[in-house]
Structures are given as structure tokens and as C-alpha cells.
Amino acid sequence: MKLTSQGFKVQHPSAVATPRVLMLILASDNNPVFLEHQRIWRSYMHTHPNIKAFFYKANPSLESEFCIIDDVLWVRCEESLYTVYEKTLKAFDAVLPMLQEYDFVFRPNLSSFVILDRYLEFCKNFPRMNLCAALIGDYGNIKFPTGAGFTLSCDVVRRLTEVRPPLFCQDDVTIGKALQEWNIPIYFAPRTDINSWESYIHADTTGFHYRLKHAHRQASGNMHEEELRIMTDLRNRVYGYPTHLQGS
């Protein structure tokens, strides 16, 4: 399937009211390529009036528990793969006063690419309470919302900050375990995973969430260059920037 900018447009939007979403993008500055991902995100993440978007990052030297500077929400903790759950809970703490203005909180990460109007269209018919939507993972007998992108209703976010379930494995599995104990179902949310230039050329164009993670991220020296090339071209095609995709 060839990618065209027309292929990414919402063709038949429903008449249901468009939800308002607070988007918290899991981010860090620990690698130069992460800064490039943020640059691409910033070129479109503030373009929809129904979405308020922040990167959230950690800084153990922060004087307060959290602070917001422009579109970055800083929380006080170590920046590490092992502190993502703590970092996420603190980000949820920080946005509690904002939640009355929104229907959902969406947590993608830097390797995500989101078609915002399609995402909102997908969310229109969801219940505004007891909601989690994500690609569903399985850890033992625990179904969990995979961490590369999940949506929570605001009451679930509040409950997580109040109860603070103890960490179990990783952040997404911990949340899944809590949802299971609270009898909150996880609605399936599709995600298109792109792991190479070839898979990008043949990607499905009907989705709203694309995850760009090179198949040989640990072994390939040019992995980040290719990820950025794909993300840039996808951004160009969806949001109207000039495109230079060969072979399309």
C-alpha cells in the first residue's frame, strides 16, 4: 500500500461531540535523538484545539515536586527506565487540577506518532468513566495497557494517584493489575508498529497511532537516523509539510 497525504485524512467524522484530551508524552533528554523526536512532536502536537499536550520529564534536583515550563512538565525523581511508574504518577499528581477540563488523559511516548483528529474520532464513543483503551498486553494472567500509548478516563487517573498501587514489574503492568482489581476493562486500541523503512512503505494508512521503533535498535548504528527519517516523512504527509519519500 502506498502512502499519500490523502490516505491519512478522516473521511467520515461522526456527529458525536469531540472529546477533550490531556496528552502527556513520556520523554527525556538523555539521548540526542530524543531531542529530535521532541522537535517533530512539537511541530504538530499543539495543532488541535481539543488536545492540550505536554512532555513530561524527570529531574531529581527539582526544588518542588513538579513544575510546568512552557510545554514541559517536570517532576522530581530520577530519570531512568526503572522510575517510569514513579514519574508517571507524579505527572498525574501535577495535572489533577486540570482534569475537570478534560475527558481523557492520553499517554504516548516519544517513539509514537499520532494523527490527532483520527485519535479524537476514535475516542468519541468511549465512556467518560472507568475507561482504559490501549493495545493490550499479557503478563502472566494480567492484561495490561501497553506503555507505548494508553488512554485513561480522568476518574481512573485520580484513582491511581489516590491509591498509588505498588510497582509490579513495569508501569504498564502495574496499571493493568490495578485495573483488573478494580474490574475496569481495557478497550482495544489499535496501533501500527513500524520497525523499518520497508514496513513504513507498506504501512496501513487507516490508523491513528504509529509506533516507530527500529527492528534492530540495539544492533544497528543507523537505527535512530531511519526512525527519524520515517517520523519526519509521516509528519510531512499527515500535517502538510513538504515530502521527499522515494519509492512511494
137-141, 172-176, 202-206: segment of lowest average pLDDT: 202-206
In a domain, residue 153? The reply is yes
Residue of 30 and 131 predicted with greater confidence: 131
Domain annotation covers residue 21: yes
Parent domain of 171: 15-110+127-188
Is 174 inside a domain boundary?
yes
Q: How far is CA 30 from CA 59, 82, 124, 125, in A?
A: 11, 14, 36, 38
64 within some domain: yes
Q: Flag whether 204 is in a domain.
A: no
Residue 87 and residue 28 in contact, taking contact as beta carbons nearer than 8 Å: no
* Model confidence band, residue 16 (pLDDT cutoffs 50, 70, 90): confident
- Calpha distance 85→231 (Å, rounded): 26
| Overall domain count for the chain | 1
Asked if residue 94 is part of any domain, the answer here is yes
- pTM of the entire predicted model: 0.90
| Domain harbouring 77, CATH code | 3.90.550.10
Task: Kindly state whether residue 196 falls inside one of the protein's structural domains.
Answer: no
